[in-house]
A and B are shown apart, each in its own frame.
Chain A
């Protein structure tokens, strides 16, 4: 079909928009960063910073960062995919509420999440002290620190990526390829080999997408290494340390090298994916179909999943409990003893209490709209069309996730603190728009990956058939591609929204008085050492996330029904 080769005028317009976005808001800040790394104050060009960094701590820090990132991918893949499979394949009590709880870790802002972990598994945590008291040994033996502490925190938050990517692939699979599963089973293949030969290959794009997102997020993660890393070196910490010491060139060089490592992983995965062929030609049976399991397997799987859900909910429960604990009262005791609603009373006493929530919702929605538009166009172009510079565009769509949030924020400030072609000659710093823009840039890769995985799993033959049968390009898109893609799209958009809702790292550099987001308000509470107030505000944020999850699942259900 030549529909794959030739770019229609509509596609050219879309391509132009995507390139505009990528050039203005991703490439431009990146170039600034590069420039800073080779152009220290007063010098025209020098590789000094790179030499310096490579000679000192880079190798050690890079090794640690890559190692924890790979472990994080592995752990997240196991837990996230397992949960997705169980939630997809079985029905059990409390399934609806637990499937929403699974997503909450992503929204837990690191600032508060960390405190929650301290109260749970730190040296003075409930679990640590509880077990220590039971076994009557010193609590410090359990403290989760170093590599394993970091990996635990990463797996806690990032297994959500696998959960979401794999869930949407599974529902897409049973929508479009249920017949293949049925056929395999009725032709006498065992359940195990059906899973291995049909289900798993079909899930490859989502595994790759989620691995990439998780790897990049772990590489760029700052809070977890900062908190649990102790005195070991990691790339993000080296960037931070160099910056604190006023050594901007070294900080930029570290950041550039960090992005290079992340991009290498992307290229490696692309190469691996290229070697595998996984698109199944479907007959589109249209009815849901899953691999059946014996009751024993079912029982064990559901029980294991419920245990995981409870474990994943513990930090959230701690936050809710903390929001009701009297300030300064929970110190040497295993469990809190004096409760109060004072934290909430004080919170609602502030006339501006809802302003940050309104701000964050509005900015996160705006970011999500931008990301959906750009991300869908870009993944459609990259997966379905051929044009020069396609690989480079794909790279640009993935890169932002591998760059620390601070670096993106600084790049945006330097680019838009004066009139620019990409901001229609207006100054964006200090306005509302800069924050949604930062959120959009940071989260674009998630949606791009989720829709690309969705598109890659779709058989282009279906679209071709529609085209041959006389439907116009637009009709095909609306009636065939879009509905099949919907679950990937909605889940990607949901992740973008949740991530933006609690975003902190770039917000702190970009917010202004009228656009104060939730995370900064939580920091304000913590800065006054008001842990209860921070927990109370965080509880509001988590309620908001649950609402968002509820709305999004309603959207996909209603639209599918139509």
Chain B
């Protein structure tokens, strides 16, 4: 009993961490390793600051920021698909800030009112298990995925919870709106994809595991993550860029409206989006910079050797209808392809 009690006391002691440093709270999905590294680097130049990063998915970050609106806890929101930032800006959750490099990003990769700016570009690809398929055997374009050959061989993230899949599905519908003036063909396309889909996984880890463990052969995901998995964790993954053109998801950064340390938040914002930081993020953490002014020769070869066609996208149409389309998909398409 005495021992238990003293262990308990030492825990209490350990958890009291008196510090007179200014805390800077960052919500981010960028992962422990990258956050730890940049927190350390920032604290080196700002010894009186304690960067408190909270690692969570972008949906969780959004949920928290929205719920904490009355008394925001976070200063910087580093990382979420642009569509999520657009929604957050509409709900007045973000503070406007124009970074020094504002003009080096393409207009579709930033907010017109400075609420968020794009940091990384993540092109979506058709990824496959390279032990089972060669690049020539794997689907090479979106429409190839509908071939009955892939029935039960495709595994996807649950689209409602995944920025990546939301953007792919919305682009398919937007493509149909553009071609036929209606989304109907797009939904039919998704229904045929649903018929070929083995399962929708709740999180990316399970999608990876099930693809690697050969429960399925093909998935749709973003290229940097697939490269990371293949190079760092040695998973048997390969990818094809869809021939007719692919979509890119823009990942951004924003300052939380009404945050407690706005000045410091701006400094952190500039720090993690500086040229040097972006190059380090590309080399060490497999992120493709969204800024157009990064010297090509300072980027790793997996980025510079990459060539793909972009799908022409009507972004305003997508951001306007995305929720409604996804709700319709969930109610009318999900699981109906096989009936």
Contacts and interface: CB of A to CB of B under 8 A. Distances in A.
B334 interface: yes
B169 interface: no
B300 interface: no
B215 A124 contact: yes
Given A328-B212, A529-B233, A418 B15 contact: no
A535 to B, nearest CB: 12
A512 interface: yes
A330 B31 CA distance: 24
A96 interface: no
A323 to B, nearest CB: 15
Contacts of A410: 67
Interface string A353-389: 0010011011001000000000000000000000000
Interface residues of B, number: 62
Interface stretch (B6-14, B95-103, B174-182): B6-14
A355 B11 CA distance: 9
B25 interface: yes
Contact of B327 (A122, A245, A527): A245
A230 B31 contact: no
B312 interface: no
B113 interface: no
A127 interface: no
B194 to A, nearest CB: 8
A227 B202 contact: yes
A244 B161 contact: yes
A241 interface: yes
Given A115-B209, A362-B12, A429-B73, A413 B56 contact: no
Contacts of A514: 15, 17, 52
Contacts of A362: 8, 11-12, 15
Interface in B163-212: 199-200, 202-206, 208-210, 212
Interface residues of A, number: 64
A118 B210 contact: yes
B160 A509 contact: no
Interface in B1-41: 1, 4, 8, 11-12, 14-15, 17, 23, 25, 29, 31-33
B326 interface: yes
A327 B17 CA distance: 35
B70 A358 contact: no
Contacts of A114: 206
B213 A511 contact: no
A523 interface: yes
Interface stretch (B57-65, B134-142, B264-272, B288-296): B57-65
Given A429-B71, A509-B60, A531-B209, A246 B160 contact: no
Contact of B67 (A413, A520, A551): A413
Nearest to A515: B15
B204 A529 contact: yes
Interface string B67-95: 11011010000000000000100000000
A418 B203 CA distance: 34
Given A231-B334, A429-B68, A526-B203, 18 more contacts: A118-B209, A118-B210, A140-B152, A226-B202, A245-B327, A331-B213, A362-B15, A410-B67, A413-B64, A413-B67, A417-B67, A417-B68, A417-B71, A418-B71, A427-B71, A513-B54, A523-B56, A527-B32
25 contacts: A122-B210, A124-B214, A124-B215, A328-B234, A328-B235, A331-B213, A332-B213, A332-B214, A358-B14, A362-B11, A413-B67, A427-B71, A429-B68, A429-B71, A509-B64, A513-B54, A516-B54, A524-B31, A524-B55, A526-B205, A527-B31, A527-B57, A527-B205, A528-B31, A529-B233
Interface of B: 1, 4, 8, 11-12, 14-15, 17, 23, 25, 29, 31-33, 52-57, 59-60, 63-64, 67-68, 70-71, 73, 87, 131, 152, 158, 160-161, 199-200, 202-206, 208-210, 212-215, 228-229, 233-236, 323, 326-327, 330-331, 334-335
- Ranked nearest first, the 9 interchain pairs of A and B with the lowest CB-CB distance are A231-B335, A513-B52, A124-B213, A328-B233, A328-B234, A123-B215, A413-B67, A417-B71, A331-B212
